[in-house]
Structure 1
């Protein structure tokens, strides 16, 4: 069974019949692909284009179109998005709801994360109650890194205000003790959103808000790939971050963008 093809179809909300139509094949053919049969090269190419993933992710052991066997590069890349705003809301919700081991978030403000899903705090609390490790790491609104990033984006102190507003959504998580929230004062090259072996990487382009920048969807293959490099960077930032103490920092009781 091709678990990767199954997973991508489910995450994209695409029926096998739609993939068959895009590749101009019979639905029974797609069923055989899902069962483990490897498509012809032209069908692999069209399927990967339609699903917005790397061909080598869906079929890592097949020769590339240049005739050379796959060397493992790019096999972790499930898909790319032109910008973070183009990631379907259902993708965020599905990844959060299906996480079984860990959820790690690294952002400056992450305002969109709560405002696109008003129930995010409750959902995170539920995952934590089920044994999922939940760690949220936001920028320190009084820190040097947030001030520099605000100047680079041309919004000045607005970024610090957005961080404080975003944090208010997560205040209910603190008394439960199931989720950890920390503040970092680190230069971020990427925002990171990890759900078990799925990782959404949102690179930061100088002078542009994170929402306007591309997003990469990675799925862990082994310990030598991109996934683990990004995951290790999260651990480094997390280790240097401090616990969030809202009462001491005067965070507002309700947030607004």
Structure 2
């Protein structure tokens, strides 16, 4: 099984295998074996890798931790980004392309997915391959949406972007395996689930979502953080209003 944690950490700082090999001082073939998990770097080399990528040894090589069953609150956290915009395009593309079973999204707008990552064709292709999508976007008439726009300093702008996103999603709502709902809840976090990976984008008063930190979590047995945020998603999903093709905006 490939070392996805190492791969994700490299994507986060926009490094290729060749780049990492050059920074650490090894042959690219050796670095490739780290990704494929054929080989675990020696202790000294691991320290060099962490100096380049940041993070902790147990985050990238959890099997090396002294406790073979690390606390879920530690093992779940793959990476902490200072802002959503700090996640590279390659990082988003890897998560989107890697979805094989389920993708869940909870946002107000999320229009950047369409504008930057060709999201609608991806949904079509993935749904045809059996991937299930649950997409929760805001109701632009809700008080929580209007208040959030004012807090962001973009009164009216958020409502327009939600309308735009709903129009895009109207093109896929009729597909098997794709469900779209709207909500009017106060949104404390935007959530993006890609199978067993979850991005939690916190919201801060007076700041755009793209300016706020993001936690990259990976699902672990009895993982408390994963369960915490996915329970929030499920509650919002249950309260959401299904979009129907004939009612699409």
- TM-score, normalised to structure 2, is 0.84
Q: Are 1:53 and 1:77, in contact at CA under 8 Å, matched by a contact in 2?
A: no
Q: Are 1:99 and 1:195, in contact at CA under 8 Å, matched by a contact in 2?
A: yes
Query: Quick one: which of 46, 59, 77 aligns to 1:57?
Result: 59
Give unpaired runs (5+ residues) of structure 2: none
> After superposition, what is the alpha-carbon deviation per residue over 1:154-213, rounded to whole angstroms, capped at 9, x for unaligned?
222322122112221111112334311101111111111111011111110111110111
Query: Which residue of the partner structure matches residue 104 of structure 1?
Result: 104
Q: Are 1:52 and 1:79, in contact at CA under 8 Å, matched by a contact in 2?
A: no
**The 10-residue stretch of structure 1 (126-135 or 169-178) with the greater mean CA deviation from structure 2:** 169-178
Matches within 5 A, 1:168-247: 168-245=167-244
Q: Tell me, in whole angstroms, the C-alpha distance in 2 between the residues paired with 1:101 and 1:158.
A: 33
Q: Count residues with an aligned counterpart.
A: 245
Q: Secondary structure at the match of 2:62?
A: coil
CA shift, 1:138, in A, is: 0.5
Query: Which residue of the partner structure matches residue 37 of structure 1?
Result: 40
- Residues 115, 27 of structure 1: alpha-carbon distance in 2 compared, 3 angstrom cutoff: closer
Q: Are 2:8 and 2:91, in contact at CA under 8 Å, matched by a contact in 1?
A: no
Q: Secondary structure at the match of 1:79?
A: strand
Whether 1:21 aligns to 2:22 is yes
Query: Which residue of the partner structure matches residue 89 of structure 1?
Result: 89
- Residues 15, 207 of structure 1: alpha-carbon distance in 2 compared, 3 angstrom cutoff: closer
Q: Secondary structure at the match of 1:116?
A: helix
CA shift, 1:21, in A, is: 3.0
CA shift, 1:54, in A, is: 3.7
**The 10-residue stretch of structure 1 (229-238 or 171-180) with the greater mean CA deviation from structure 2:** 171-180
Query: Which residue of the partner structure matches residue 136 of structure 2?
Result: 137
> After superposition, what is the alpha-carbon deviation per residue over 1:202-256, rounded to whole angstroms, capped at 9, x for unaligned?
110111110111122222122223222212211111111111257657x3xxxxx
Q: Tell me, in whole angstroms, the C-alpha distance in 2 between the residues paired with 1:57 and 1:201.
A: 17
- Residues 207, 28 of structure 1: alpha-carbon distance in 2 compared, 3 angstrom cutoff: same
Query: Which residue of the partner structure matches residue 75 of structure 2?
Result: 75
Q: Are 2:11 and 2:88, in contact at CA under 8 Å, matched by a contact in 1?
A: no
Q: Are 1:54 and 1:77, in contact at CA under 8 Å, matched by a contact in 2?
A: no
Query: Which residue of the partner structure matches residue 255 of structure 1?
Result: none
Q: Are 1:2 and 1:36, in contact at CA under 8 Å, matched by a contact in 2?
A: no
- Residues 143, 62 of structure 1: alpha-carbon distance in 2 compared, 3 angstrom cutoff: same
Q: Tell me, in whole angstroms, the C-alpha distance in 2 between the residues paired with 1:186 and 1:135.
A: 17
Q: Are 1:203 and 1:215, in contact at CA under 8 Å, matched by a contact in 2?
A: yes
- Residues 16, 9 of structure 1: alpha-carbon distance in 2 compared, 3 angstrom cutoff: farther
Give unpaired runs (5+ residues) of structure 1: 252-257
- Residues 124, 183 of structure 1: alpha-carbon distance in 2 compared, 3 angstrom cutoff: same
Q: Are 1:52 and 1:80, in contact at CA under 8 Å, matched by a contact in 2?
A: no
Q: Are 1:9 and 1:16, in contact at CA under 8 Å, matched by a contact in 2?
A: no
Q: RMSD value over aligned CA atoms?
A: 2.8
